[in-house]
Amino acid sequence: MKTWSEVAEVQPLAGRIITNSIKKGRVSHAYLIQGERGTGKEAIASLIAKGLFCTDKDGLEPCHTCQMCKRIDSGNHPDVHWIVPDGQSIKIEQIKNLQKEFTYSGLESNKKVYIIKAADTLTLNAANRILKFLEEPSRQTTAIMLTENSSAIIPTIRSRCQVIDLQPLNPKKFQKKLMDEGMPEQHAVLMSALTNSIDEAVAWKSDDWFASALKLVVQLIEKLVNYPEDAYLFIHSSWMPHFKERSEQEQGLDVMLLAWKDILYYHIGNEEQLVFFRANSDLLQRAALSFSQESIIDNLQAILQAKRKLKQNVHPTLVMEQLTLQLKR
């Protein structure tokens, strides 16, 4: 999304709230933009920043071609600061450096913008330090915090921000966009269940690592159906060597969750909802015969619990070992 018109199509309520405040000259000193991955958080943050600095706007729309817009796009604007997690979290040292910036005047104007990605990863100390800015706002400074997990934002931060909720993209419209990009329907349905980002979906479709990840999920379920005693060894010999980074491990669990949802849908006769097993009906049927409805629900809950443990920085190998032992027939 590069224009407010495009935002209005995808996120009409959020677009209307922000553009109305821009029209009235009442841009908030702090925004908390919350929504799933791919719903447009960074694009909206960039549009807000460009709206404040663009030298050749057409009404509300930034030009995207002036020096200011180009520098924001490249991350080189001296008065637009992006704060990203250092490892798994945003640490207090990063916020201390940010607070130093608060004390300086803008290099090219009196306006300054701070965009904090994954604001839910702020450590407690870092979150408490950022409150100093939120409690003593400058009219010329705008903070924009982005998050997929709004429940992890401490209440004192939420209460000092204008909260913008982004809605999940319409799956059917998203699938159509992917098919318009040349993606087969089977893959478009799967991708729409995993991401809201067209660029991400297209990249995954041609990614050998992702294709192998899908095969590993199939192989694990085959082990659990045919040779459950070999599943534990499979995790060590095949799964963990492939899913090395924490983001990859979370993605593997997301795909596994879709597969088990399909088994449940087949069990209850809701086959039109199938996502993962649309092209592998034989394994789907065998899995549905091997697992009771109760055990499938237990397995879904175990996968969700494994995802929570990864978020809590429990060692990934331990998480997968425990999950494999919990997956039952």
Listing DSSP states for 51-101 in one string gives HHH-SS-BTTB--S-SHHHHHHHHT--TTEEEE--BTTBB-HHHHHHHHHH
CA 81 to chain centre: 21
Q: Confidence class of residue 311 from pLDDT cuts 50, 70 and 90? A: confident
Residues 156 and 11 in one domain: yes
Residues 127 and 234 in one domain: no
Residues 213 and 159 in one domain: no
| Residue 142 lies inside a defined structural domain of this protein | yes
Inter-residue contact 237 to 195 (CB < 8 Å): no
Range of the domain at 212: 207-326
| Residue 197 lies inside a defined structural domain of this protein | no
114, 259, 261, 289, 315 from 220: Cα distances, Å = 44, 11, 15, 16, 20
Residues 142 and 21 in one domain: yes
| Residue 191 lies inside a defined structural domain of this protein | no
Which residues lie closer than 8 Å to 17 by C-beta, 6 or more apart?
162, 164
Please give the tally of structural domains in the chain. 2
Which of 134, 150, 165 corresponds to the end of one domain? 165
Encoded amino acid at 125, one letter: N
Residues 153 and 35 in one domain: yes
Q: Confidence class of residue 102 from pLDDT cuts 50, 70 and 90? A: low
Residues 218 and 83 in one domain: no
Assign 276 to helix, strand or coil.
coil
Q: Is the pTM of this model over 0.95?
A: no
DSSP secondary structure string, 219-238? HHHHHHHH-GGGHHHHIIII
Please give the structure tokens belonging to residue 264.
């449940």
| Residue 199 lies inside a defined structural domain of this protein | no
DSSP secondary structure string, 110-150? S-EEEEETTGGGB-HHHHHHHHHHHHS--TTEEEEEEES-G
What pLDDT digit, counting tens, does each position of 3-12 carry?
Answer: 999 899 889 9
Q: How many residues does the chain have?
A: 329
| Residue 145 lies inside a defined structural domain of this protein | yes
CATH number for the domain including 137?
A: 3.40.50.300
Which of 114, 135, 165 corresponds to the end of one domain? 165
Q: Confidence class of residue 88 from pLDDT cuts 50, 70 and 90? A: confident
Which of 165, 192, 219 corresponds to the end of one domain? 165
Residues 151 and 17 in one domain: yes
CATH number for the domain including 292?
A: 1.20.272.10
What pLDDT digit, counting tens, does each position of 153-211 carry?
Answer: 999 999 999 999 998 878 888 899 899 989 999 999 999 999 877 888 989 989 999 99
Residues 113 and 220 in one domain: no
State the sign of the Cα–Cα–Cα–Cα dihedral 249, 305, 230, 289: negative
Burial class from Cβ neighbours inside 10 Å (0-12, 13-18, 19+) for residue 43 reads middle
| Residue 31 lies inside a defined structural domain of this protein | yes
Burial class from Cβ neighbours inside 10 Å (0-12, 13-18, 19+) for residue 269 reads exposed
Residues 11 and 160 in one domain: yes
Judged against a pLDDT cut of 70, whether residue 137 lies above it is answered with no
Residues 112 and 28 in one domain: yes
Which residues lie closer than 8 Å to 4 by C-beta, 6 or more apart?
15, 18, 19, 47, 60, 61
Residues 139 and 227 in one domain: no
Which residues lie closer than 8 Å to 20 by C-beta, 6 or more apart?
none
| Residue 213 lies inside a defined structural domain of this protein | yes
State the sign of the Cα–Cα–Cα–Cα dihedral 84, 87, 93, 97: negative
Q: Of the candidates 38, 42, 3, which has an alpha carbon nearest to the alpha carbon of residue 201? A: 38
Please give the structure tokens belonging to residue 123.
């450590």
DSSP secondary structure string, 155-214? HHHHTTSEEEEPPPPPHHHHHHHHHHTT--HHHHHHHHHH-S-HHHHHHHHT-HHHHHHH
Instruction: Report which of residues 151 and 71 the model is more confident about.
Output: 71
Inter-residue contact 262 to 275 (CB < 8 Å): yes
- The predicted pLDDT at position 304 comes to 93
Residues 131 and 233 in one domain: no
| Residue 105 lies inside a defined structural domain of this protein | yes
- The predicted pLDDT at position 138 comes to 62
